[in-house]
């Protein structure tokens, strides 16, 4: 389902659309140049001794932190990155399967292709991408495949309702009851779009609502919890959603290089306390680490995930302002996980003996009744097959899970001692689904799994025990909550960046994290130029990279 474009904002509606008005404010300001070129400013700051250069601390080396470091380094700042892990990238990370295939543990997708810097980096690094047609291979609750015509019908209906929900939320969000959910909207639309006069209308509505549950694989939470009032915040950049077939590895290398070359990166350094400027007599921000270090900076950028912020508000001194704390607590945090299973061959691309069908792209199993022991709750399951991605293809199925299903799988896996036990559990759990794919033969070696890997972001403390921000029922001021986080506490020298502070059109995405770091870097640089009159600087433009 992720192959569909996520932006439904028409050219005419862009002038009034809240997400594009916000993008113009956050992304496109501060880019003009006046009399003095940016290079002149950088050279003036570079002539200062290292001890006099503004020293910026960045907590976290994900895309937000790395991009922020790039902007600051280009503007002549001294930058130190404190990273709790032993690597760069944060939630952008790759693992190599036992059979040699490299896969993304975090983000898989490029969300939108129009004016997207991540797409530019993908092209620059010659990273392979994949796109499939909009057809899905859908199994009903009894495990029987829907006909291509039926599958197309329900898929089209679902996406038409999603588009209608975006438009409704954008236009009527201000007067929408905070407790109304995306599920409520789907139920209303099902009645309107499948009238009682249509033959078999009850069954059709039933299947459509089962299809609607697949939206959870976008946001990491079920549609029964998704806010309709703030559904407009889920709309993404225009264009296609492309699968990063070559993984994000080359893009990560490109984004990391400026920090590797110019910043002081301190790995395996966990932060325990952040003390704002008002707590020190020398107007610095002090950062304490779990190993007892106390580091001083002119400004600090906190790029830790939203989930980490929720769990560590007590780390800030003085306490963060009430409005900012409310924003952190009000915005929800999703739980999207994935399981990769590789086989000897991509058997699902061989036409089935009976109907000659293949699965190329997506497959969905709706509310299965046929796995009562392993899946008594009948959670929907979705797969993306990676066997048709051209030169980057490999015979692997990528299963997405969210919400309670994700929590169930990750908790079960954590309780198992060995990799052998973990793999056996995963294969037993997912076999009822992949065994229904075309040309599967359990007795054939070609259909035997060769490798298996499951993510566990919900068990990752540094990731905040989850995936990325989303917007759930009961939310009253979601847009203002995002803005509050985006603003940070400049007076204390404390700034926030990350996908949860991104322009509205890129929340929860790699692009959003990248833009958020860029935005904070520019704001810090602007404040520095304005405050350093002794350098005889002119103009307010700063380099964004």
Residue 236 confidence (pLDDT): 87
> Is the CB of residue 280 less than 8 Å from the CB of residue 300?
no
* Burial per residue of 140-164, b for 16 or more beta-carbon CB atoms within 10 angstroms, e otherwise: bbebebbeeeebeebbebbbebbbb
Q: Give the residue ranges of DSSP H helices in 383-509.
A: 403-414, 419-434, 478-487
Q: pLDDT at position 22, please?
A: 75
pLDDT confidence of residue 47: 53
pLDDT of residue 297: 98
CA angle 369, 217, 363 (to 5 degrees): 55
Q: Which tokens sit at 493?
A: 């020298």
pTM: 0.92
Which residue ranges of the chain lie beneath pLDDT 50? 1-13, 28-40, 43, 533-545
What does the alpha-carbon distance between residue 50 and residue 52 come to, in Å, rounded to a whole number? Answer: 5
Question: What is the rounded average pLDDT for all residues in the chain?
Answer: 90
Per-residue pLDDT tens digits for 492-516? 999 999 999 999 999 999 999 999 9
pLDDT score, position 306: 98
Q: What is the pLDDT of residue 16?
A: 53
Q: Output the pLDDT for position 354.
A: 85
Tokens of 537: 């600087």
Q: What is the pLDDT of residue 108?
A: 95
Q: Residue 534 in contact with residue 42, Cβ under 8 Å?
A: no
Q: Which residues of 63-85 are buried (b: 16+ CB within 10 A; e: fewer)?
A: bbbbbbbbbbbbbbbbbbbbbbb
- Which string of DSSP letters, residue by residue, matches 139-173? E-TTSPBPPHHHHHHHHHHHHHHHHHHHHHHHHHG
Spacing of C-alpha 87 from chain mean position: 19
């Amino acid at each position: 389902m992720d192959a569909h474009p996520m932006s439904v904002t028409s050219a005419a509606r862009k002038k009034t659309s809240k997400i594009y008005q916000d993008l113009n404010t956050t992304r496109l300001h501060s880019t003009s140049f006046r009399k003095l070129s940016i290079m002149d400013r950088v050279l003036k700051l570079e002539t200062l001794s290292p001890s006099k250069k503004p020293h910026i601390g960045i907590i976290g080396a994900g895309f937000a932190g790395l991009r922020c470091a790039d902007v600051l380094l280009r503007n002549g700042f001294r930058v130190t990155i404190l990273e709790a892990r032993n690597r760069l990238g944060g939630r952008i990370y790759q693992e190599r399967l036992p059979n040699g295939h490299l896969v993304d543990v975090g983000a898989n997708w490029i969300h939108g292709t129009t004016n997207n810097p991540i797409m530019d980096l993908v092209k620059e690094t010659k990273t392979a991408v994949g796109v499939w047609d909009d057809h899905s291979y859908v199994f009903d609750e009894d495990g029987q495949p829907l006909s291509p015509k039926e599958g197309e019908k329900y898929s089209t209906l679902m996406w038409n309702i999603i588009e209608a929900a975006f438009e409704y939320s954008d236009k009527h969000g201000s007067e929408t009851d905070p407790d109304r959910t995306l599920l409520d909207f789907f139920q209303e639309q099902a009645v309107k779009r499948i009238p009682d006069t249509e033959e078999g209308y009850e069954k059709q509505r039933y299947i459509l609502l089962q299809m609607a549950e697949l939206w959870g694989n976008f946001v990491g939470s079920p549609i029964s919890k998704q806010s309709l009032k703030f559904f407009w915040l889920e709309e993404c950049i225009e264009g296609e959603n492309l699968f990063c077939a070559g993984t994000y590895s080359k893009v990560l290398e490109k984004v990391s290089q400026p920090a590797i070359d110019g910043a002081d990166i301190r790995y395996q350094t966990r932060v325990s306390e952040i003390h704002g400027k008002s707590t020190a007599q020398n107007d610095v921000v002090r950062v304490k680490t779990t190993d007892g270090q106390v580091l001083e900076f002119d400004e600090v950028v906190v790029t830790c995930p939203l989930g980490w912020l929720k769990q560590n508000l007590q780390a800030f001194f003085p306490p963060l302002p009430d409005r900012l704390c409310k924003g952190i607590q009000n915005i929800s945090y999703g739980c999207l996980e994935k399981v990769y299973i590789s086989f000897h061959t991509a058997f699902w691309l061989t036409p089935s003996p009976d109907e000659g069908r293949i699965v190329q792209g997506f497959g969905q199993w709706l509310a299965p009744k046929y796995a009562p022991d392993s899946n008594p709750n009948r959670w929907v399951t979705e797969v993306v097959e990676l066997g048709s991605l051209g030169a980057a293809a490999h015979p692997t199925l990528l299963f997405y899970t969210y919400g309670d299903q994700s929590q169930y799988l990750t908790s079960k896996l954590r309780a198992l001692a060995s990799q052998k036990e973990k793999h056996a559990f995963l294969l037993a759990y997912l076999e009822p689904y992949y065994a229904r794919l075309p040309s599967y033969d359990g007795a054939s070696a070609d259909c035997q799994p060769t490798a298996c890997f499951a993510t566990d972001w919900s068990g990752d403390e540094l990731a905040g025990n989850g995936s990325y921000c989303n917007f759930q029922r009961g939310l009253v001021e979601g847009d203002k909550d995002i803005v509050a986080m985006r603003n940070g506490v400049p007076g204390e020298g404390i700034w926030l960046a990350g996908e949860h502070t991104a322009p509205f059109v890129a929340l929860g995405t790699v692009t959003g994290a990248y833009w958020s770091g860029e935005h904070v870097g520019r704001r810090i640089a602007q404040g520095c130029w304005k405050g350093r009159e002794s350098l005889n600087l002119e103009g307010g433009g700063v380099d964004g990279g």
